[in-house]
Structure 1
Amino acid sequence: MKRSRFSRALPMAFPVALLVMMMVVTSSGVVQAASTIETVKNRGFVLCGVTDRVPGFSLHEADGSWSGFFVDFCRAAGAAVLGNADAVQIESYWLDALEGREVDILHAGSTWTLVRDTTRMIDFPGIYFYDGQGFILHSNLGVKSLKDAMTTKDLKVCAIGPSSTARANLEEFIANTGVTWTLVPIQTMDGMWRAFFGGRCDMAIHDRSALVAVHAGRLDDSDDYVVLPEVISKEPLAPAVRSDDVQWRDLIFWVTMATIAAEDLGVNQDNVDDMLAHSTSPEVRRLLGADPGIGVGFGLSDDWAYQVIKQLGNYGEIFARNLGPKTQFKMSRGLNQLWRDGGLLYAPPVR
């Protein structure tokens, strides 16, 4: 029997129509399910995950409050969306909690890697801290440099694993250099510090900035430990969000960029009101919402970046308050300086 042109077209037309319907439904479903900004507005606070017990970056204080560089960027999201930096609930979480929708955003010193970016439902909206992994060790070993450590046999080195970049970096370093070290795998951050300070390991590997912070925080016995000056990897640290909400990803990116742009443009907590009222710079006026436009794409008021800077400060102020020379950590900014000062930080144009 000869089929009509209509019947012959059905096998081709049906899958196409089905695909179009799926795209419409999927697109609509994603928008509704992933509208994190609306969810945060309705909830009244941002759910933010951090890594606990990293002084200067994220530390849970005895009174229940949180402090640190990463914590301030959690609070910046609250300032941007809700106009209130205190509208944030902070808990200690890692990447799996983000994928499981237990938090809206993760500020936990996550390294942006190819595998994490391409195999997990996670996006990294911009680097805000350039770091590298290094070592802390017991000073009674007499080791002062990485070269010294490489010639010391049978060192036991604690590393978090298996998902941490620290363990992978250490395994590659041992394989590439032939050092006679023993890797001691530890499952959690707390477990690693207990193992190292308890003497189970001679050394521990972690982001060098975090090692410096932990070392500085040991006021009673800091002389018993040494942080080596060298690093063995590049660790671009970034906030992390789920990859199903482009608008939320863009907002978190621009929250960071707003703090960097503010520093570059000379806007800070002390002068932000004056700059809002009197600046003639088009970029400053756009950044602070004096000229309309920067809130439209997010469904936010145009003063969202003003709120971040007013309540938290620019990038330099956030760094200085938590990590800088006037803190116990006395960190220099290094690569985390503005581009004009020899660092790697600059923001795309605010226009």
Structure 2
Amino acid sequence: MKQTILLMAMACALVLTNGENARAASTIETVKNRGYIECGVTDRVPGFSSQKSDGEWAGFYIDFCRAIGAAVIGDAKAIGIDDYWLDALEGREIDVLHAGSTWTFVRDTTRDIEFPGIYFYDGQGFMAHAKLGAKSLKEAMALEGVRVCAIGPTSTARTNLADFIAKNKLPWTLVPIKTMDGMWRAFFGSRCDMAIHDRSALAAVHAGRLEDSDDFIVFAEVISKEPLAPAVRADDVQWRDLVAWVSLVMIAAEELGVSKDNVDYMKAASESSEVRRLLGEEPGLGQGFGLDDEWGYRIIKQVGNYGDVFERNLGIKTPFKMARGLNNLWRDGGLLYAPPIR
């Protein structure tokens, strides 16, 4: 009898310990205690994420890292940034990946990661040397012996290229490159006639080559859908939801007319319940995350709404001059759509 009671007590203690460990494993609590967000990005795409000579990071993805810092820590600068990919996320080296990862079936179902919503709609295409003589993908498809660089072995670009070559029976050669930096060195070093990547990234890289941009051309055509999304581990639903709603709050703010420039006025003067809830004037926004109700306000105040972030990093007043396209709000012909803030 005593042995049974002892075993039961030990079992209860184990359950309590496991429960306490699970509770302590909350990513929100972890980053609060640490004091900053560990954010993985890619240091290869001007306009999206790149490190300046003084060590400062800037770009579209960086601003989404900063938005999480503003929401959880209260400071958009409370972030640690480094060049990582999905394996670092699974290895618990980072809390979130903002590196232009494409949301695919295989990644979503076979790896220990989640994609908390699409925040950039893209498609893959090609950059070519002008000396190749092709001004469009159609013209390039008529050429023989074309060498095309693709990062691999598990990238969507390499898979898309292999499928495209096979489907169209093209006399091209796929040149596999292990890293993104290696791919660009190979392409600009003329080991390849063309390179495949997300078209937005191609446009950004092309715009960044101010001295010799006329020597290269980015074809208008795309050959794939590339829904780009942040990524988190699959072991924390609350953190996944928070990362999703950070992006959605930024989209909702643009829908509701709340921007970095007018956020204080809207917080004080708006009569819209949805705006007031978004900015913490009415309760509810922090309830599900254990945060205060002003985390959405801090994002807009310190970073901006989705349109602010897009225009600052990629828009017509930047060297990249990107149009919003599919990344417009739904009411403006795009695909961006936020659920109601209620």
Q: TM-score, normalised by structure 1?
A: 0.92
Give 1:35 deviation, angstroms.
0.6
Alpha-carbon displacement from aligned partner over 1:153-175 (angstroms, at most 9, x marks no partner): 11000000011100000010011
Alpha-carbon displacement from aligned partner over 1:204-228 (angstroms, at most 9, x marks no partner): 0000000000000001100000000
5+ residue gaps, structure 2: 1-7
Distance 1:180 1:109 in 2: 30
Aligned pairs for 1:182-221 within 5 A: 182-221=173-212
Distance 2:222 2:177 in 1: 20
Aligned pairs for 1:41-80 within 5 A: 41-80=32-71
Identity %, equivalent residues: 71
Partner residue of 1:175 out of 163, 166, 169:
166
Q: Give the corresponding residue for 2:320.
A: 329
Distance 2:117 2:341 in 1: 15
Residue 254 of structure 1 aligns to a residue in which SS? helix
Give 1:26 deviation, angstroms.
9.9
Distance 1:264 1:114 in 2: 30
Give 1:31 deviation, angstroms.
3.1
Q: Give the corresponding residue for 2:308.
A: 317
Question: Does 2:294 match 1:303?
Answer: yes
Aligned partner letter, 2:39: C
Question: Does 2:150 match 1:159?
Answer: yes
Q: Give the corresponding residue for 2:22.
A: 31
Aligned residues: 333
Shift in CA distance, 27/286, structure 1 to aligned 2, threshold 3 Å: farther
Aligned partner letter, 1:299: G
Shift in CA distance, 262/27, structure 1 to aligned 2, threshold 3 Å: farther
Distance 1:135 1:48 in 2: 29
Residue 349 of structure 1 aligns to a residue in which SS? coil
Question: Does 2:99 match 1:134?
Answer: no
Asked whether the equivalents of residues 24 and 30 of structure 2 are also in contact (C-alpha less than 8 Å), the reply is no
Question: Does 2:136 match 1:145?
Answer: yes
Question: Does 2:99 match 1:108?
Answer: yes
Q: TM-score, normalised by structure 2?
A: 0.95
Distance 1:29 1:51 in 2: 35
Distance 1:117 1:284 in 2: 33
Distance 2:59 2:37 in 1: 17
Runs of 4+ in 1 over 6 A off after TM superposition: none
Give 1:142 deviation, angstroms.
1.3
Distance 2:125 2:179 in 1: 18
Q: Give the corresponding residue for 1:4.
A: none
TM-align CA RMSD: 1.7
Asked whether the equivalents of residues 59 and 66 of structure 1 are also in contact (C-alpha less than 8 Å), the reply is yes
Give 1:24 deviation, angstroms.
5.8
Distance 2:229 2:35 in 1: 25
Larger Rg: 1 or 2? 1
Give 1:25 deviation, angstroms.
6.9
Shift in CA distance, 302/221, structure 1 to aligned 2, threshold 3 Å: same
Residue 77 of structure 1 aligns to a residue in which SS? helix
Question: Does 2:209 match 1:223?
Answer: no
Give 1:30 deviation, angstroms.
6.8
Aligned partner letter, 2:129: H
